[in-house]
């Protein structure tokens, strides 16, 4: 699946949501070995690396929500610092945060948190899978 999103008048709240969706989606799917699917329902886009989830994007929520894996200590710090960062929705509250992308967090911080989630999952993969990700051969049938 590919999301095609057209940038338009940013003064309309829905347009800001669409641009944020594009930013988040493109960053996630651009990660080495990232795959996407809808294993739970048609509204929750799940991004995985090595068969493990690193991001869940709630496509129908407005403002947009994304759930990301997080180091437990950092997860608590983020929740205490930002009202838009909440314990993971339908996920482990210790290891996952659900983030309301309502503008409280900067784009830079959102990207950093996506990278953090991806790296946590990537580091949990076997050495063989990590090497294939590094070589760009992950998922090759050879």
The DSSP-derived string for 72-120 is HHHHHHHHHH-TTEEEPTTS-TTTEEEEE-SSSS-HHHHHHHHHHHHHH
pTM of the full structure: 0.85
C-beta of residue 113 within 8 angstroms of C-beta of residue 56: no
Q: What number is the average pLDDT over the span 20-33?
A: 93
pLDDT confidence band for 15 (50 / 70 / 90): low
pLDDT for the residue numbered 90: 81
pLDDT, tens only, 93-126: 889 999 999 889 999 999 999 999 999 999 999 9
Domains of the chain as residue ranges with CATH = 13-121 (3.90.1150.30)
How far is 114 from 116, CA to CA, in rounded Å?
Answer: 5
pLDDT, tens only, 31-85: 999 999 999 999 999 999 999 999 999 988 888 899 999 999 999 999 999 999 9
């Amino acid at each position: 699946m590919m999301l095609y999103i057209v940038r338009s008048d940013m003064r309309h709240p829905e347009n800001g949501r669409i641009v944020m969706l594009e930013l988040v989606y493109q960053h996630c799917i651009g990660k080495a070995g990232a795959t996407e699917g809808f294993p739970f329902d048609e509204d929750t886009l799940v991004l995985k690396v090595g068969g493990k989830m690193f991001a869940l994007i709630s496509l129908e929520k407005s403002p947009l929500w994304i759930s990301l894996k997080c180091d437990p200590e950092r997860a608590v710090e983020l929740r205490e610092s930002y009202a838009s960062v909440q314990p993971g929705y339908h996920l482990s509250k210790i290891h996952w945060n659900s983030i309301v992308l309502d503008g409280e967090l900067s784009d830079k911080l959102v990207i950093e948190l996506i990278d953090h989630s991806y790296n946590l999952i990537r580091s949990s993969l076997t050495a063989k899978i990590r090497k294939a990700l590094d070589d760009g051969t992950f998922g090759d049938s050879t």
